[in-house]
Structure 1
Amino acid sequence: MADPRPHLTLLILGLICAGLSVVPEAQALPQGRILGGEDAVQGEFPWSVSVRYLKAHACSGSLISDSYILTAAHCVSNVGTTPVSTSDVQVRVGSINQFAGGSIVSVKRILIHPSYGNFLHDIALIELNSPLTFSSTIAAVTLPTASEGEPEETEVEEEELPNGTPVYVAGWGELSDGSAGYKLQKANFNTLSAPYCELAAGYGYDSTVCLSRGENEGICRGDAGAGVLDDQKVLRAITSFYFGDCGSKYPDISTKVSYYLDWISANTAEE
């Protein structure tokens, strides 16, 4: 594996980041749109939120409670584990339209995983200024269940997400024709186990989930931080980055939520 040296910059109209070189031909850009997806309907993904930087959509996120959102660390990173100012970040909840509807809520705290770097451990918590009121369009997603006594960041058994498990992602971003999409898009993926991901992209870690899809499909600008859900609507991962151009022949990469359950629990517990 080549030495990954990403230089991150959060831009108003999305995240355009200098690449993470993983295989000779591939460059990982933490951008996200769902290519080859279809429109979601109102209330279909009530946990999906638009994470906004300087009042423009930057990334997606998932409500895990009435006060906390999970997203990708690079979406809210200023430098390394130092987050951007909370005053520059807002979240639109309760709408499938990234430009209108629902509510815009302010942010109290942003917490990036302490081991984040080079797109590994690419996970962050956003705490809202005040708790949300749940409804048909605003609700928390279900987190995976930790094995009893399982410590954080230990090897997760392969059976948790066998190769070829169907999963689903919903997020905002440009459409396949390059236009800026306003409506939440959804798309189907299949998990790719670590050995197959290593073969396909020279990449694979216990803390990540690789996502396979057809060429000219997958994540791109605006979908980073979106939830990856299984058939039971359990949040299995958070979209992180893709290799080369979006829709390339390489799998997309996401951050495995079960790997971080202790960290999530410790930092969302009521004081």
Structure 2
Amino acid sequence: MNDRLLPVIGYILLLVSVGQTAPGSLNGRIVGGEDAAKAQFPHQISLRNAGSHSCGGSIISRNWVLTAAHCVSYFDDDGELVINPASRYSIRAGSNDRFDGGVLLQVVEIVVHEKYGNFLNDVAVLRVESPFIYSASIQPIGLPSKNTPDNADIIVSGWGRLTHGGDIPRYLQWTTLTSLSLQECESRIKYGYPNILCLLHEADNGVCNGDSGGPAHYNNEVVGIAGFVYGGCGTTNPDGYARVYEFVDWIKAHTDIK
């Protein structure tokens, strides 16, 4: 473990799960968000663990979804990474309702970043059993063509808790956060890494449990993958996302995207 991370680990909460107890889960609306319009985020999916919503994700091709590594894996007592069986997971796409609508597809393959750990490289791709059929409500989102600028308005979406430890919304939520420089991220939460995207928000706003793996959007591209909050949901601390720009080559190497 990187020594510089030791003081903050106890205050960082992964955003996975909405009360499940299966391995890889923690006991997962956007805090301060609003209901998404129909087909506003046609790439957004609900990742289902044993039939229940646990994380978000993004359609990136007809066969692949982008999400967070911690949504589909855990570290055992020996510190070894264990990837959960793909058979446990399904994906609801094409609906803002986490209970109903759209289509349900079985996950058949999970690829987790080989350097995932310590809240870094928190990236995974999932292959579905049959291809997505594109429509107004089901569309892929592009990978970033350039690095995300500082101080930009970044839209985030998901089905995470409304407040820290609070209720889970039925319908997809969204809000707008602000990207920070690496220096500002380092100053605020000691996470000024090139592959981390820190998103700032006011109190009672931001992501929470159940938003994990979900997208941060900028210029119609997925620039972040929801990973963790620092000090609890809805604080004035920035939220931590995997910076997708740093993983474009890895994603292309492990999917059908060229």
| CA shift in 2, pair 1:207/1:57, >3 Å | same
Alignment partner, residue 50 of structure 1: 46
Alignment partner, residue 101 of structure 2: 101
2:196 equivalent to 1:208? yes
For 1:78-157, list aligned pairs within 5 A: 78-79=74-75, 81-145=81-145
| CA shift in 2, pair 1:179/1:120, >3 Å | same
Distance in 2 (alpha carbons) for counterparts of 1:107 and 1:215 = 36
Which AA in structure 2 matches 1:13?
Answer: G
Q: Deviations over 1:227-248 (max 9, x none)?
A: 1111x21111111100111011
TM norm structure 1: 0.83
Contact 1:16 1:31 survives alignment (8 Å): no
Alignment partner, residue 237 of structure 1: 224
Shift of 1:179: 2.1
Listed as ranges, the gaps of 5+ residues in structure 1 are 19-28, 147-159
Of 171, 175, 181, 2:169 maps to 181
2:235 equivalent to 1:248? yes
Q: Deviations over 1:193-232 (max 9, x none)?
A: 11111111122101010000001111101101111111x2
Q: Deviations over 1:31-86 (max 9, x none)?
A: 96410000001111000000011111000000000110000100000335431111
Alignment partner, residue 155 of structure 1: none
Please give the secondary structure, in 1, of the residue aligned with 2:254: helix
Listed as ranges, the gaps of 5+ residues in structure 2 are none
Shift of 1:180: 2.0
Q: Deviations over 1:141-199 (max 9, x none)?
A: 011126xxxxxxxxxxxxx3332111101100222492220100001000011111111
Of 185, 189, 192, 1:197 maps to 185
Which AA in structure 1 matches 2:233?
Answer: C
| CA shift in 2, pair 1:256/1:142, >3 Å | same
Which AA in structure 2 matches 1:115?
Answer: K
Distance in 2 (alpha carbons) for counterparts of 1:190 and 1:31 = 28
Alignment partner, residue 77 of structure 1: 73
| CA shift in 2, pair 1:33/1:120, >3 Å | farther
Taking every aligned residue pair, what percent have the same amino acid on both sides?
35
| CA shift in 2, pair 1:187/1:229, >3 Å | same
Distance in 1 (alpha carbons) for counterparts of 2:177 and 2:32 = 11
Distance in 2 (alpha carbons) for counterparts of 1:30 and 1:237 = 21
2:19 equivalent to 1:13? yes
2:245 equivalent to 1:258? yes
Distance in 1 (alpha carbons) for counterparts of 2:42 and 2:21 = 24
Distance in 1 (alpha carbons) for counterparts of 2:157 and 2:181 = 21
Of 151, 160, 167, 1:164 maps to 151
More off after superposition, 191-200 vs 80-89: 80-89
The size of the alignment, in residue pairs, is 247
Distance in 1 (alpha carbons) for counterparts of 2:178 and 2:150 = 8
Please give the secondary structure, in 1, of the residue aligned with 2:105: strand
| CA shift in 2, pair 1:87/1:16, >3 Å | closer
Which AA in structure 2 matches 1:142?
Answer: G
Contact 1:93 1:138 survives alignment (8 Å): yes
| CA shift in 2, pair 1:168/1:16, >3 Å | farther
Distance in 1 (alpha carbons) for counterparts of 2:169 and 2:113 = 30
Distance in 2 (alpha carbons) for counterparts of 1:96 and 1:76 = 22
RMSD (Å), alpha carbons: 2.8
Alignment partner, residue 55 of structure 2: 59
Please give the secondary structure, in 2, of the residue aligned with 1:259: helix
